Amino acid sequence: MEYHRITNIQDPLFKQMHQLMQDVFPPEEVLEFDLWKEPLEDPGIRVFVAVHNGKVVGATEYRYYEDFNVAMTDFTIIGQPGLGIGPFLAQKRAEDLNSLAEANGKKLFGMFAEIYDPYRVEHYEFGGVKPMDPYVRREVLAHLGYKRLDFPYVHPSWNNDGEAVEGLDLCFLPMEEGVNELQTDLIVKFLKRYYSVLSNKPQAWYTMIENLEAKEKVALLPI
């Protein structure tokens, strides 16, 4: 299996990846094809696909913030079972992020991720791909060490239509044992940076940010 980085919308593997995203994710979670041009060319956004026999069978997008020394996993897609795609992507992503942090003179502090909560929202089918089932994914991420940040989370729809998307938790994977809380300053700065690309944010998002800014720390809880 190959770990191939996509940096151009014209890459023929990107068309396969985008179709895979549409097959798996709800429509409001998938950026339109043409809108991927700038993100793919952004050196800070890392989009990789798992290629098996010339076919895209998985994908992951993530980024590393040098000034925060944290990463964000935008998404991970496992296109079919039985190939070890999940472990392959997780290992390759970790190797890449650790090398980026090392080049920054640091050891990676941790990684954010948005995780669906199927106990609140049950209608996510994810294209009928069982490894992408939200119950399975949540348990896998728990095993990897992710913890849930203890506040009600909403995020702006990637349709940039001002709608608030609920049914997810913002989670964090600390790289050191014993980290049970995060400074809200880090969370707020990260969220503002991450969603700066969306101009039309819902009021619920701004309210969430204001509530966070009123606190000093947020607990990390089991998923």
CB 164 within 8 A of CB 155: yes
CB 116 within 8 A of CB 135: no
pLDDT at 187 > cutoff 60: yes
Range 161-173 average pLDDT: 90
| Per-residue pLDDT tens digits for 38-69 | 989 998 999 999 999 999 999 999 999 999 99
Percent share of the chain, pLDDT over 70: 93
Percent share of the chain, pLDDT over 90: 65
Q: Which residue has the higher pLDDT, 80 or 10?
A: 10
Range 18-36 average pLDDT: 85
Range 191-209 average pLDDT: 93
Q: Which residue has the higher pLDDT, 69 or 21?
A: 69
Number of H helices, E strands in the chain: 6, 11
Return the pLDDT at 159. 78
Range 81-102 average pLDDT: 94
Give the span between the Cα atoms of 111 and 90, in whole angstroms.
Answer: 12
Give the span between the Cα atoms of 96 and 37, in whole angstroms.
Answer: 22
Look up the pTM and report it.
Answer: 0.86
Cα dihedral across residues 38, 98, 78, 16: positive or negative: positive
